[in-house]
A and B are shown apart, each in its own frame.
Chain A
Amino acid sequence: MTSGIPQRTPTAPGAPLVSHAVNRYVRWLGSQRDTLGTAIVVIAVLLAWQFFGGYLPKYIFPTIPLAIEKFEQIITLKGTYVAIGQTLVRILGGFAVSASFGIAFGILMAMSTQFNFIARPLIRLIMGVPALTWVLLGVIWFKNMELRVWFFMFIVTFPITALNTYDGVRAVPFELYQMTRSLRPTTAGLLRFLIIPAATPFIFSGLRLSLSFSGRIAVFAEAIAAGTGIGAEMMLTNQLFDVAGLIGWTFILIVVLSLMDGALEVLERRWFRWRREMKD
């Protein structure tokens, strides 16, 4: 005879383990949300691309297989690697010069009221001038193609590094400043022991932004003011109405820029181990 009390289903011995595994799966899914979102967007773009490629003329909108075929052609050409090398040298060279100058400029701005008085309006003025004006001025002012590209990259990216450095130095906690000053370092020592390490997270975010700009700007300048490099190759595809080629070169540029950003991220992780551990 069974009582009126509802019988509880006995829990299977493996049940807690199963629910634990489900929880872990749900948590994993949650942590993969960004990846999932990216995958959905990429698939949607590819589908749309294939769809429009089927209806529009191939010289305006090539299909995915055609773009891949063109990309394969591009990467088998020796000249492609020469163009990538030229662009890389320009980006890294221009970035190095602009970053060094920008960091020094930002530190000076933060540490000298007199310098800041002149520097801030100057930076505001430089940033206010349209990028195209700088390219055209570069073409007029410099005969040498490399100088044109470097000038353009420098003038557009150094204010980013300078302003981030300035903010970083200004954000150094007063308590740490007072403690370090009480140890009586020279100005160089103060920069070495406190100011630069404390401002480095700000400087780094400025550098990453500046590197990303450098890549885009170098290609833009190559297209307009130089005859070599990825930018010039892209310009050529435009003149030949070769959209598949343009997509191929764009993909190469994305890979190059992503690799550079990845390298900077690796450096950032290594240098800011203490910061990452703090967050954990």
Chain B
Amino acid sequence: MITVVEVSSVRKDYGSGLDGNPFTAVKDVSFSVGEGEVVCICGKTGCGKSTLVNMLLGLDPPSAGSIRIDGLSPSADFFAMRGKLAAVFQTDRLLPWRTVIDNAAIGLEVANVPKDERYARARVWLSKVGLSGWEKAYPHQLSGGMRQRVAISRAFVTDPKVILLDEAFGHLDEVTAHKLRQDCMALITESRTAAIVVTHNITEALELGTRVLVLGKPARVISSHELVELRRLPDWAIKRDQVRSEIFRTIDSESFG
């Protein structure tokens, strides 16, 4: 399997936190993600997941260690990484003054792709997420689930090497979230994109991931769970519950540790 994401001993220190004292948000995180792999990063609220996401996106450079995505550093090679890494955030983050198709195609517009081509590509992805016919609508005319579908098509339209889902289904109702998770996973599998799913929802992590990494606080990997082989077992449902309990215990013990 070709490694697409390589995170080595990443650390992030801040000069001053809420209390004015220096603090470490990410202590020591290392992991890699291969092509077509879905790695779920799980942890309690405030454990440093958002900081890790910002570093993966290249919006915040690490204090120590290195992140390589398709051989490039997301922060140091900021513009060279254009289109290689896409993100779906907790809220849709659509630009309200842009129509659905203009929102979906914005990544291509940033990359100066000609209008006809970017519209054609955006239409393909909008159709894949079930939004054909809604191209000229504005975000406020869509439901929450539909808006998140536009956000998903916006992420896939640039044909990225890595897709980052940051609590992407966290604000939706359970039924919509389940449907959207399934559709999103089908697109990830179809496009063979490496995916990093950041979530605090253990059930979601077990449903989506080929591997689940559990973060402690400050962020460091405190346990890792391979799920590919387990999923093939006839008693996967039982095994899944065991892994869930194990993850829960790990996070819980970390809270008091």
A180 to B96, CA, bound (A): 13
Assess whether B89 is interfacial by the CB under 8 Å rule: yes
Which A169-183 residues sit within 8 Å CB-CB of chain B? Answer: 175-176, 178-183
A206 to B: closest C-beta gap in Å: 18
Assess whether B93 is interfacial by the CB under 8 Å rule: yes
With known contacts A175-B89, A193-B110, A278–B140 Cβ distance under 8 A: yes
| 17 contacting pairs across A/B (C-beta < 8 A) | A176-B93, A179-B89, A180-B95, A180-B106, A182-B86, A183-B106, A183-B110, A184-B79, A185-B110, A193-B95, A194-B95, A272-B97, A274-B138, A275-B96, A275-B97, A278-B96, A278-B138
With known contacts A175-B89, A178-B59, A278-B140, A183–B95 Cβ distance under 8 A: no
Partner of A179 from the list B58, B82, B93, B96 (CB cut-off 8 Å) is: B93
A213 to B33, CA, bound (A): 60
* Residues of B contacting A: mostly: loop
Interface residues on chain A, size class: 20 to 34
B159 to A: closest C-beta gap in Å: 14
A204 to B: closest C-beta gap in Å: 13
> Quick one: closest A residue to B77, CB to CB?
A184
Measured between beta carbons, the chain A residues less than 8 angstroms from B58 are: 182, 184
Measured between beta carbons, the chain A residues less than 8 angstroms from B70 are: none
Assess whether A38 is interfacial by the CB under 8 Å rule: no
Task: Write the B68-87 contact mask toward A (1 if CB under 8 angstroms, else 0).
Answer: 00000000001101100111
> Quick one: closest B residue to A200, CB to CB?
B97
B29 to A: closest C-beta gap in Å: 19
A192 to B: closest C-beta gap in Å: 9
Assess whether A79 is interfacial by the CB under 8 Å rule: no
> Quick one: closest B residue to A179, CB to CB?
B93
Residues of A within 8 A of B (CB): 175-176, 178-186, 189, 193-194, 197-198, 200, 272, 274-275, 277-278
Assess whether B10 is interfacial by the CB under 8 Å rule: no
A93 to B: closest C-beta gap in Å: 29
Measured between beta carbons, the chain B residues less than 8 angstroms from A186 are: 79
A189 to B109, CA, bound (A): 9
CB–CB A181/B96 < 8 A: no
Measured between beta carbons, the chain A residues less than 8 angstroms from B42 are: none
B100 to A: closest C-beta gap in Å: 12
CB–CB A184/B82 < 8 A: yes
Task: Write the B163-197 contact mask toward A (1 if CB under 8 angstroms, else 0).
Answer: 00000000000000000000000000000000000
A181 to B107, CA, bound (A): 11
A186 to B78, CA, bound (A): 10
CB–CB B93/A175 < 8 A: yes
A178 to B164, CA, bound (A): 14
CB–CB B59/A181 < 8 A: yes
CB–CB B107/A183 < 8 A: yes
B92 to A: closest C-beta gap in Å: 9
With known contacts A175-B93, A183-B82, A193–B106 Cβ distance under 8 A: yes
A191 to B: closest C-beta gap in Å: 12
Measured between beta carbons, the chain B residues less than 8 angstroms from A180 are: 95, 106
